[in-house]
Amino acid sequence: MTLNANWSYPTAIRFGAGRISEIADACFVASIKKPLLVTDRGLAGMEITQKTLNLLDDAGLGRAIFSDVDPNPNEKNAAAGVAAYKAGNHDGVIAFGGGSGLDLGKVVAFLAGQSRPIWDFEDIDDWWTRANSDVIAPIVAIPTTAGTGSEVGRASVITNSITQQKKIIFHPKFLPTVVICDPELTVGMPKFITAGTGLDAFAHCVEAYCSPHYHPMSQGMALEGMRLVKEYLPRAYSDAKDLEARSHMMSAAAMGATAFQKGLGAIHALSHPIGAIYHTHHGTTNAVCMPAVLQFNKPAIKDTLAEAANYLGIPGGFVGFCKFVDELNDSLAIPKSLAGLGIENPDIDRIVSGALIDPSTGGNPIKMTEENTRKLIIEIS
Ligand SMILES: [Fe+2]
């Protein structure tokens, strides 16, 4: 089977190894003549980024880059990005990277033409309708990890640098016009990033699958996404150059993010405040939280996850699924607790209050309360 295709769901996706070479055409299709490539500081100097800038330059599109982006991007990064976008007179954004580069790139394209502050567009009720949608710049998104799936998402996670809370900024036009999924870009990822990002994709699939909301399309996608992670994450982890495994993980990432339109849950509700306060890796934090959250949700998800286990070829129903998660985490060197992540005395009160106001909380199959959430965090500590 050739792992190369063009998809139009949920947006136009050019999938396949080496397809970064189509970046100039992707810009043309998105009507971008003067792009600003937005990525994080770590990626800015890497070969894949320089090669991408060369491709743009060769096509007469310039080589403008903005990379003042923190691992958990905040409103200051967004303001600086918008200033660079305006100063360079750009007409579109290439969002390039893992979650931080993609999320910030999307926000820059969105905010550049708006007159209201970023927090006015938080994903609450219909706040997104406050935006002037006619002036949102087009976006080409290029993931360089396989986890966040932000390249197919209609939101960005931005940390409020004053309150240290992660906020979701939403608008339907955050969805990039063209996505290039080139698994070759993920070949150089360090092992722990391969593990953490891959388990973020897995958490998206598991939480979407377990969420009680009605969305059968997402349900099917989440299930197959889990299967791809089960089959291919161990391979991508043990052999960084396994391009078939990297390809399937890149699909799983896009599938997880598409599926979580159905909802997320306690894993992300906990991981968001933990990451915002302690700057831990998002996907790795999810993986640490997952075993305890599965037990927490057991009364509501026992039968559903038994069905998933069946599909995945895991014996033993719900118990078997949980055992599989423990073994997967162990094989990918995921710590078993927050202490293992380097958080010795977590501020439980702050994590509880952050979790209870996190939008992911609403998708958890068991109602999260002050009392049960506190117990859950103590267990994970
Ligand atoms: Fe996530």
Residues in the chain: 381
- Structural domain boundaries of the chain? 4-185, 189-380
pLDDT digits (tens, 9 = 90+) for 199-250: 999 999 999 999 999 999 999 999 999 999 999 999 999 999 999 999 999 9
Q: Is the pLDDT of residue 8 over 90?
A: no
- Report CA(112)–ligand 1 centroid distance (Å): 26
- Report CA(295)–ligand 1 centroid distance (Å): 20
- Report CA(84)–ligand 1 centroid distance (Å): 28
Q: Is the pLDDT of residue 166 over 90?
A: no
- Report CA(282)–ligand 1 centroid distance (Å): 7
- Average pLDDT over the chain reads 96
Q: Which residues pair with 179 in a beta bridge?
A: 13, 141
Mean per-residue pLDDT, 62-83: 96
pLDDT digits (tens, 9 = 90+) for 241-273: 999 999 999 999 999 999 999 999 999 999 999
Architecture of domain 4-185: 3-Layer(aba) Sandwich (3.40)
Structure tokens at 200: 């973020």
Q: Is the pLDDT of residue 188 over 90?
A: no
pLDDT the model gives residue 1: 80
- Report CA(325)–ligand 1 centroid distance (Å): 17
The residue type at 366: I
Contact, 53 vs 149, CB < 8 A? no
4-7, strands of its sheet edge to edge: 4-7, 12-16, 178-181, 139-143, 92-97, 35-38, 65-66
pLDDT digits (tens, 9 = 90+) for 20-64: 999 999 999 999 999 999 999 999 999 999 999 999 999 999 999
Structure tokens at 277: 């306060």
Please report, rounded to a whole number, the percentage of residues in the chain having pLDDT higher than 90.
97
pLDDT the model gives residue 227: 98
- Report CA(201)–ligand 1 centroid distance (Å): 7
Which residue has 């700057």 as its token pair? 279
Q: Which residues pair with 141 in a beta bridge?
A: 95, 179
CA–CA gap between residue 236 and residue 189 (Å, rounded): 10
- Report CA(252)–ligand 1 centroid distance (Å): 13
- Report CA(197)–ligand 1 centroid distance (Å): 8
Mean per-residue pLDDT, 112-137: 96
How many Cβ atoms are within 10 Å of 83's Cβ, its own excluded?
14
- Report CA(134)–ligand 1 centroid distance (Å): 29
Which run of H or of E encompasses 180? strand 178-181
The class that CATH gives domain 189-380 is mainly alpha
The residue type at 210: C
CA–CA gap between residue 200 and residue 268 (Å, rounded): 9
The pTM is what? 0.96
